[in-house]
Structure 1
Amino acid sequence: MICSAFLVGYLLDYSQTGSFKMTNGILFKTDIAQYVITGLILMLIYLAFYGLFNHFFYATAAFYIFFAIYTVANKLKMLYRMEPIMPNDLNFLTNIRQILSMVTFKVIIVVVLVIILIITVCMILENIFTYELMKFSPLMRIIFVVLGILSIASFYDVNKEGTPINFVMTKAGYSNFTPNISLTANTNGPLLTFLGNMHIDIMDEPEGYSKESMTKIVKKYQKEADVINKNRSNNNLNKQTLIFVLSESFSDPSRVPNLKVNQEAAPNIMNIKNENTSGLMLSSGYGGGTANMEYMTFTGLAFNQFSKAVQSPYTQLVVNQKHPTNIVNSFKKSAAIHPYYGNFYDRQTVYPKFGFQSFRNLNTTGSLALKYKDTIDGNPYVSDESAYKDTLWQINQEHSGQFISLVTMQNHMPYNVMYPDNPFTVKGSATEITQQAENYAKSINFTDNSTKEFLDKIDAIQKPITIVWYGDHLPGLYSHNSMRKYNVVQHETDYFIYSNKYALEHGYGTKKLTDSTEVTDPNGFIPLALKQMNQKVTPYYALLTKVQEDLPAMAKNSVGKNASLYVDADGKQISSKHFSTNQKQLLHDYKLVQYDLTVGKGYSQSTINK
């Protein structure tokens, strides 16, 4: 039992680091105490299984199967997203069939074979040694189960100073305050990191937070709004249609280091970018995190300013809010479209809280059903062409303006679809499986063509429409590239903002903005869109405008010890230590507002966005 516990602890840590050398260094040299504690917890969990089954080898089978699945899941998440399994990920268990569809068939077969092997061996051993092994009384069995539960539950207050568990773990060298969650998991191990994040604070209270300070901030940015609005002619947002299009995993592969594609995968989109407001978007995800980019675009709030344990604002924050401040509430009419299952990231709960009046997805039926669900050439996901058709249908349902969110699925992992007559070939050391990179290139080429057709149809509509179009993150295909070396470029996707012909001809749109557009972040899309639409702003949108124009693009960092990644217009990473005095004050104002609107007292909520 002891050997099994420490073996599983070792394999868990290896799933995190991906290196036996690094794992050995951590477990047997630098962080021995954390490894011992992990082993003890695993042993108590093992005992809990023993208490449940009262058969040693049945308990052994359950123990190894559970942690085999955990280890593989952690390895896959590190491979595709560079993040360990966190408590918030348990929400995806309600979508287990859809999750399995995203895992390669080879991995599923290997896991199934391992499970069969474990069960077979344990059944044989149980039959051989059934009379030699101890059986326990009901009282002892209950004690074993309780000990297992307590070993997990005791971590509830591990991050709260003064608690016994915090004292013990701190003495052992445990720390959960490293800004980078993957770095934390490397030293503590994925199990202790998981347990240490069961109970979290969403955001630390910024210095100087009070009702008085928030009143001053509202007044300050009301003045900024007055200045901005002198040069803006449109004061009724409901006369315009604003569409946010999140293009799943879209990012031009030609920018990826150590990767060469034989031809341009998205020539139409690159041409659209050249002629319209466009640039690169700094993503807070790699290989995943779609809903987090959604959250930032809707709210204008920065993911990196939450605590590092916040992995999904949707499921950890918004579900508990009553009326979160966001762009949807600025419109009288709004609709969301996502051609996948609506319960992913709890969207079916989150979207109504944002104010969406309808949400079309694969789960909805009747009048709320998706109108188009076609796929292309073996791809299991609804095509972008179909998603665009649903969006066009929604546009035509309203005579005046509305807000529409479209989140596509066509280019989602895994990239195993072998498209016929694929003209794309890929060379280079960036990706482990070249064929998948070639499949991805062909997939976004389909997106390229359907996006151009979509914009052509938008141009024919006789009402003002502005589209914010962006890729949410790179696909998790480039595992051979060092993230430490290529951190910035592998977190940059493409975006453009497009105003249709009617908007341009009637003073509701701008062809190409060039100020502070080279590199932005998802939280910068609201102010950029309003500027593109020549739309007057509220104090809140004035603050976001200042942040977008005067601060570098920001994202949650996945490498190193800094919680935030800041990137300037030249694509260079910079430190907040080098910010000017005005930039530091602006950033502090931003944090105060973010805290107030999310987990604070809400002093500004009734006035800042009016």
Structure 2
Amino acid sequence: MVQHPDIDQTPPAYPEPGTVPRDIPAGVTGPQAPSASDDVTSAAPKRGAVARQVVARILFVLGASFALTAVVTGMLEASLRAKSDEPTLVGPALLGFAILWILVLGVVGLLGSLRAATVVVVTLGLVLAAVNVVRMDILRLPLSFRDVVFLKDPAFLVEMVPVRDLVKGAVAVLAVAAALTWLVSRAGRRRPRWRRGRPGWWGWMAFRGVAVALAVTLVLLAAGFNTPGNVVRDAYDRNGADWRPWAQSRNYLLNGFVGGVLSNLPTDPMNVPPGYDEATMEEVAQRWTKVAAVRNRGTDPSLLEKTNVVIVLSESMGDTAALEHATFAEDPMPEIHGLMRAGGARMVSNFYGTGTSSMEFAVLTGQNTTLFKPQISSPYQQFVTDYPGYPNAVGWLKQMGHGAVAIHPYTPHMYQRPDVYKNFGFDEFIDRDSMTERARLGNGGFISDRSGYREVLRELRENDDPMVVQLVSMQNHLPYQGRYDDPIEVTSDKPLRQAVGQWARGVKGTDEAVAEFLRELSTQGERTIVIQYGDHFPGIFSDAQVKAEGLNIFRTPFFVWDSANPEGTGPKNGGLVGNPSGGDVAPNAAMQLALQQVGAPLPPYFTLLAEVQEKVGVVRGRKILTPDGEEITVQDLSADQKALLRDLRLVQYDFSIGERYALEEMWYPSGE
């Protein structure tokens, strides 16, 4: 073919579809001008491409958040299994994973960035896992929403965990957050953020909105986890959940960290007992008023009006003699064991390694905490302060003219004690900052029991009226590392032997302080009764030993000492008048046992508690420890025993969260 030299042979450059070149005159037709149909056909592929981009981004976020959830779940579950390899049930585990995944997607939707969500979620998961490991190590209980209250008292955290370790932990968290930020900023191809007006923006925003809405809806539904008919709880139950709230470590292990946390969300302390109404409570009150009148024959109605009452909760005081798998080179508590033989017994604590406020509540109110719902582990924090006043032994004694002082040689804010003590009727609360003596035992230990006892003596000497003084000690609280230079030698699990020996040395110090305290009281010239008990063993024994000990790991010392009869007045000059079998006693039976020991009359309420202790035994939820030491279930009780337990439930509900129909007749003759 011949090429004309004046004609350019380069193929014409057609414009991109959908554009109109400026050099084509209006009205020109032909192959150089785009037709109207070109605009329509080219827009469809563009919209499809944008839609594919949005779908791809969403699928990527779903997959990445799934992996992120797996990482966080692994950290949380590992924190539970630091000392146990028990598997989680499959159904609850999958549900917990799904719940956590939805929450992670909610964080992504809220922040609008997978990278930012990764930093936040992984850092938070790491913090929760680390705190849970420490909490399990110290208190043998996993994290729950109630632990938020500890943030109000950072001094407690500092004393429970060395500052050095707290600083290391904070630095580690910051380092992890910084490293994550750096890694995610460089991981994979950086995708441009969708901004308003950019193609696909509405699709991405719709996904974010759905993710946040799902997460918020789930949170609202889960908040009522313990209410009847809750859909989240029903889903767990249908998928094989095995709730063990009376053993929280196992509860979390079986149902997963998420399931465990949900099962401990707020709930009503008790269900309404069948038949509860004003007429029923009037009948119960009349019945126990008659029983009390019979039991009180021969007692001195005015005895307590001129008698001081001292109540001592001894922190981390388990009965060393009860242990079968630990042998001490010397008896750390010879004085206390002698007092137990003269007028005491072993008390069965509700917890191991924790539960101080629960025991204090049970002794002062006479209420059995195991009759509340299993989620109620700390009545002080969970419902006591919801009421303007709460029935307890302090208020009852004040009606007889007693002054009331509470002493706790530590920060006042633990377990909301200032509010609780005001609610209970204490006239004064002395904490570590207001004590006159603050000597400490050991290296870096807490204020000593000896200082606490001397504060009690000072209160008794400075007040002419009879006093009720409660001391909650602190000396033997964890941690023990390096506290004493001469720990008591002990044969037990080798890895924990040093901690047990350190604790035992502190117990020895308490024993010596008790002997000194009682000698001082003997010279006071006024009658004083002392009710002392241990709250729990410290959480320093291995899981294997705890399992091997069984109920022994819950047995704590309990004794009643009367300055008028220091050698004891029980059967054969020993033991407790109200516990002739010599068996274990319940925490809520302590006050009535003390009254019987000194020969004081029992109000109808304490008469009911006495009959339950003597004829049923120690009630521990669904289990019963009989006066003869046999462990049975509630179903094994006789009809008469079940009737006693029914009355106990009715009265406890009435006095705690009920209408208090029977309070005046059974305990508070002048009202609250």
Could you state the TM-score of these two structures normalised by the residue count of structure 2? 0.81
Question: 1:262 matched to which residue of 2?
Answer: 329
Give the structure 1 partner of residue 68 of structure 2: 4
User: In structure 1, what is the Cα distance between the partners aligned to 2:370 and 2:192?
Assistant: 52
Aligned to 1:522: 587
Shift of 1:175: 5.8
444-453 or 515-524, which deviates more: 515-524
Query: Structure 1 residue 97 and structure 2 residue 163: aligned?
Result: no
Q: What's 1:115 paired with?
A: 173
The CA distance in 1 between the partners of 2:445 and 2:147, in whole Å, is: 23
Deviation at 1:108, TM superposition (A): 4.2
How many percent identity over aligned positions? 25
Aligned-residue offset at 1:396: 1.5
AA partner of residue 397 (structure 2): F
Moved more, 580-589 or 191-200: 191-200
Which moved further from structure 2: 438-447 or 112-121?
Answer: 112-121
Residue 131 of structure 2: SS of its match in structure 1? Answer: helix
Could you say which residue in structure 1 is the equivalent of 2:405? Answer: 335
In structure 2, the residue matched to 1:383 is: 448
Residues 31-70 of structure 1 mapped to structure 2, 5 A cutoff: 31-51=89-109, 53-70=111-128
Summarize the alignment of residues 185-334 of structure 1 with structure 2, pairs less than 5 Å apart. 185-235=252-302, 237-274=304-341, 276-332=342-398, 333-334=403-404
Range with bigger deviation, 69-78 or 259-268: 69-78
CA distance in 2, matches of 1:453, 1:535: 26
Partner residue of 1:347 out of 409, 414, 417: 417
1:576 Cα deviation from its structure 2 partner: 2.5
2:233, 2:442 → 1: CA distance? 54
- Structure 2: gaps of 5 or more residues: 1-64, 197-204
Deviation at 1:88, TM superposition (A): 1.8
AA aligned opposite 2:396: S
TM-superposition CA deviations, 1:413-447 (whole Å, max 9, x none): 11113313x15112222x63221111111111111
SS at match of 1:433: helix
Distance 1:257 1:159, change over 3 A: same
- SS of alignment partner, residue 666 of structure 2: coil
- Cα pair distance change 1:423/1:17, threshold 3 Å: closer
Could you tell me how far apart the structure 2 residues matched to 1:136 and 1:284 are? Answer: 56
Partner secondary structure for residue 281 of structure 1: strand
Q: For 2:309, what is the secondary structure of its paired residue?
A: strand
Specify the alignment match of 1:558 in structure 2: none
Equivalent residue, structure 2, for 1:427? 491
Whether the 8 Å contact between 2:450 and 2:513 is mirrored in structure 1 is yes
> What is the rounded CA distance, in whole Å, between the counterparts of 1:84 and 1:410 in structure 2?
24
Counterpart position of 1:357? 427
Q: C-alpha distance in 1, partners of 2:534/2:340? A: 13
SS in structure 2 of the partner of residue 520 of structure 1:
coil
Contact in 1 for aligned 2:285/2:666 (Cα 8 Å): yes
Aligned to 2:644: 586
Contact 1:54 1:136 in 2 (8 A): no
Amino acid corresponding to residue 132 of structure 2 in structure 1: N
Who is 1:457 aligned against? 520
Aligned to 1:560: none
Higher relative contact order (CA 8 A, sep 6+): 1
Deviations, residues 451-496 of structure 1 (Å, cap 9, x unaligned) = 1101100111111100001111001111243544422100001111
Structure 2 equivalent of residue 403 of structure 1: 468
Say if 1:148 and 1:587 are closer, same or farther in 2 by CA, change over 3 A: same
Q: How far did residue 588 of structure 1 move?
A: 1.0
Pair 129,543 (structure 1): closer, same or farther in 2 beyond 3 Å? same
How far has the Cα of 1:144 moved from its partner?
4.9
Helix, strand or coil for the counterpart of 1:65?
Answer: helix
Q: Which runs of 5+ in 1 are unaligned?
A: 364-368, 556-562
Q: Per-residue deviation at 1:55?
A: 4.7
Shift of 1:104: 5.5
Please say if residues 257 and 481 of structure 1, whose CA atoms lie closer than 8 Å, have aligned partners that are also in contact: no
Question: Could you tell which deviates more after superposition, 119-128 or 456-465?
Answer: 119-128
Q: CA shift at 1:566, angstroms?
A: 2.5
Find the aligned partners of 1:505 and 1:377 in 2 and give their Cα distance: 33
The whole-number CA distance in structure 2 between the counterparts of 1:462 and 1:380 is 34
The worse-fitting range, judged by mean Cα deviation, of 333-342 and 569-578 is 569-578
CA distance in 1 between counterparts of 2:306 and 2:642 reads 37
In the superposition, the TM-score normalised over structure 1's length comes to 0.89
Distance 1:359 1:228, change over 3 A: same
Answer with 1 or 2: which has the greater Rg.
Answer: 2
Q: 1:428 and 1:485, CA in 2 relative to 1: closer, same or farther beyond 3 A?
A: closer
How far has the Cα of 1:359 moved from its partner? 0.7
